[in-house]
A and B are shown apart, each in its own frame.
Chain A
């Protein structure tokens, strides 16, 4: 197969892209084509997860030595303007579609961050932006800052490539911030099945977030990071976390019944995510105020 065209759907998010990539994979039973053309003609709306998922997919195609071309990206609809402002085209084509496109104040533009730079990027750029957009003190967003560092630690610990793509958007009217991080490593289900081989992809994702579940990919891993993410974002903040990895997609939302911290909502729809995409939804109104001052530990 020489060339395959992928038509993006009207709405671009991890849910719709999983389906698109699954259809593409099904068409490539004999191996990936030498060239993929991504057609933007129907694109009308993009969510933050769509930006990182699509970018990660393009990186994955390049990694698989498949050339990736774009089509109908220059008609300049609002959705394409948003994608251009996110610096998607600059990242993947080397230049913006419109020279006047620039990252918006409500976003942290698309970046590909290696593990060695990830913590300083989070500390110096993302966390201050998060505090400012959520009108919170720096100390109030430290738990989210730690969660983001946990995700990049997971990428470094569990993938052969330690790069993650990240994009964030503030929705001021909804008082919400969405942050999406994607990598194209071997995927959470692949890692979990090294010690629990019978699990489906959804089951493997649910297992991976269990407190103290660890594949011990490094000797000091204790399986705390993803649990801390869910406790912080879903349990304390009342936000949501969605994890898409290989054939699995599971959303974690605040529990409706007493006792549990979160409710697990696995997707029943077939789809495929190269590597892992983690989406966080944070609620500005639920931020717990913490004063910006040091404190001593009271045992």
Chain B
């Protein structure tokens, strides 16, 4: 299953936009073991967006499970660095 961020939200700037993506991602990951998320056309994401879209997934999926199910493609270094850092930190707190 392929999800394009721009088909769900106009940009990745706010927590509300992140929450909209979270709802789509949660549903997709519940029904599929291979979800591809494309950031094509989205250059930047804020922490509010990443928290709402990705960190919230930790309530339902383990970090290894997210890494196994979700592929993020056509993204940028800024977005990838932030997703990785936020999920790793929050998953670490849950594990502690």
Count of B residues near A, CB < 8 Å? 33
Interface membership of B30, Cβ < 8 A? no
Interface membership of B80, Cβ < 8 A? yes
- Pair A142/B82 contact, Cβ less than 8 Å: no
Return A210 CB to nearest CB of chain B, in Å.
14
Partner of B82, one of A146, A294, A298, A299: A146
| Alpha-carbon separation in the docked complex, A220 to B76 (Å) | 24
CB within 8 Å of B: which A214-233 residues = 218, 220-222, 224-225, 228
Question: B22 — nearest CB in chain A belongs to which residue?
Answer: A220
| Alpha-carbon separation in the docked complex, A299 to B56 (Å) | 17
Interface membership of B72, Cβ < 8 A? yes
| Alpha-carbon separation in the docked complex, A145 to B75 (Å) | 15
- Pair A225/B48 contact, Cβ less than 8 Å: yes
Residue with the greatest number of chain B CB neighbours at <10 A, chosen from A138, A142, A150, A298: A142
Give chain B residues whose Cβ lies under 8 Å from the Cβ of A297.
71-73, 75, 79-80, 83-84
- Pair A146/B46 contact, Cβ less than 8 Å: yes
Return B78 CB to nearest CB of chain A, in Å.
4
Interface membership of B13, Cβ < 8 A? yes
- Pair B19/A220 contact, Cβ less than 8 Å: yes
Give chain A residues whose Cβ lies under 8 Å from the Cβ of B79.
297
Interface membership of A123, Cβ < 8 A? yes
Partner of B52, one of A119, A220, A299: A220
| Alpha-carbon separation in the docked complex, A222 to B56 (Å) | 11
Q: How many A-B residue pairs have CB under 8 A?
A: 89
Interface membership of A14, Cβ < 8 A? no
Interface membership of A290, Cβ < 8 A? yes
Beyond A119-B13, A153-B48, A228-B47, whether A222 also contacts B77 by CB under 8 A is: no
CB within 8 Å of A: which B15-71 residues = 15, 18-19, 39-40, 43-48, 51-52, 55-56, 67, 71
- Pair B44/A220 contact, Cβ less than 8 Å: no
Return B55 CB to nearest CB of chain A, in Å.
7
Interface membership of B3, Cβ < 8 A? no
Partner of B84, one of A153, A224, A225, A299: A299
CB within 8 Å of B: which A117-176 residues = 119, 123, 138-139, 142-143, 145-146, 149-150, 153
Beyond A220-B52, A299-B84, whether A225 also contacts B76 by CB under 8 A is: no
| Alpha-carbon separation in the docked complex, A246 to B33 (Å) | 51
Beyond A119-B11, A296-B71, A297-B83, whether A142 also contacts B48 by CB under 8 A is: no
| Alpha-carbon separation in the docked complex, A119 to B11 (Å) | 9
Identify the A interface with B (CB < 8 A).
119, 123, 138-139, 142-143, 145-146, 149-150, 153, 218, 220-222, 224-225, 228, 290, 294-299
The 6 closest A-B pairs by CB, nearest first: A297-B72, A224-B47, A142-B78, A119-B13, A220-B15, A294-B74
